[in-house]
Amino acid sequence: MMSSALGFVKEIGKVSNFIIDTIVWGFRPPFFFAEVIKSMRNISFQCLLPVIAVVGPTGMVICLQGLIVMKLFGAEKLLSSLLAESIVRELSPILASIMVAAQAGSSVAGEIGTMRVKEEIDAMEVMSVNPFQYIIIPRLIALALVCPLLNVIASSCGMMGGYLVSVVLKGINHGVFVENLFEYLKLSHIMGGVLKSSIFGLVVGIVSCYRGYNVTGGALGVGKAANNTVVHSILLIVMINYFLTNLLFNLFD
């Protein structure tokens, strides 16, 4: 029990030092903008279809189940408002970020871990190339920027899925659905969802880069790092989401 507690404290210390080093080197030249663009492109291609495939059907299910409840109270016209609020404020940011953790997070951890196992990171240090500046920081920035973009696309697809079920399949009036879609949705709600997804992207970036950078044990260690990245990222996203949601509700509602 004591050894487990000590191990946990040591791990927290290592993560803290890693974050501090990232912040320190993040504001020092040189800045590798080409690596940022490359990472953004790779992450976007990896995650776009999985994110759409998850959030789009989620919007469809919300309308399918919500319509049953709304009919009980004669409030079918509010269905699109429920869809927009739930998708934009909660479901899209968290689902999109979880898919980014599963796709891009594991990929980043595996990529950096492979570089560590093959001693490429050690070779960079010998050549006076800082690994944090060239490897870690570009991927962190890329994840923090791509996650909000994917969230916006996912939100749109979720509402399109809800429209398909409500209007095309269930016969709700098109004008009523569209008119009430943004009735209760404020700009602060949209910006809150974007902010949450950006923070979740940073979380995925920190976890994946830390796990990959500290890989030990050869190829087996790389696989464990990729797996741990997904699990730990999702746990952190779910926990942080509660506090962010509570904060945003207190600030804007």
Instruction: Write the pLDDT tens digit of every residue in 66-76.
Output: 888 888 787 77
d(CA 8, CA 190): 37
My answer on whether omega of the bond before 57 falls inside 30° of 0, hence cis, is no
- Would you state the pLDDT for residue 3? 66
d(CA 47, CA 95): 12
Backbone Cα Rg of the chain: 21
Average pLDDT over residues 141-150: 95
- Would you state the pLDDT for residue 253? 65
CA dihedral (68, 70, 76, 77) in degrees, to 10, reads -140
Tell me if residue 184 falls in helix, strand or coil: coil
- Look at residues 146, 139, 140, 248 and name the one whose alpha carbon lies nearest to residue 190: 248
Residue 26 pLDDT > 90 = no
- Would you state the pLDDT for residue 9? 80
Q: How many separate helices (H) and strands (E) can be counted in the chain?
A: 11, 0
Residue 143 pLDDT > 90 = yes
Residue 59 pLDDT > 80 = yes
d(CA 9, CA 214): 16
d(CA 205, CA 84): 28
d(CA 237, CA 200): 6
- Would you state the pLDDT for residue 217? 82
| Residue ranges of domains in the chain | 32-252
d(CA 217, CA 30): 32
Residue 1 pLDDT > 70 = no
Q: What are the pLDDT digits (tens) for 119-139?
A: 888 888 888 888 899 999 999
pTM: 0.92
Q: What are the pLDDT digits (tens) for 98-110?
A: 999 999 999 999 9
Residue 228 pLDDT > 70 = yes
Q: Is the sign of the CA dihedral 219, 224, 227, 229 positive or negative?
A: negative
Residue 215 pLDDT > 70 = yes
- Would you state the pLDDT for residue 100? 95
d(CA 139, CA 44): 12
Q: What is the DSSP string of 140-174?
A: HHHHHHHHHHHHHHHHHHHHHHHHIIIIIIT---H
Q: What are the pLDDT digits (tens) for 38-52?
A: 999 999 999 999 999
Average predicted confidence (pLDDT) for the chain: 89
- Would you state the pLDDT for residue 2? 60
**CB atoms < 10 A from the CB of 35, how many?**
17
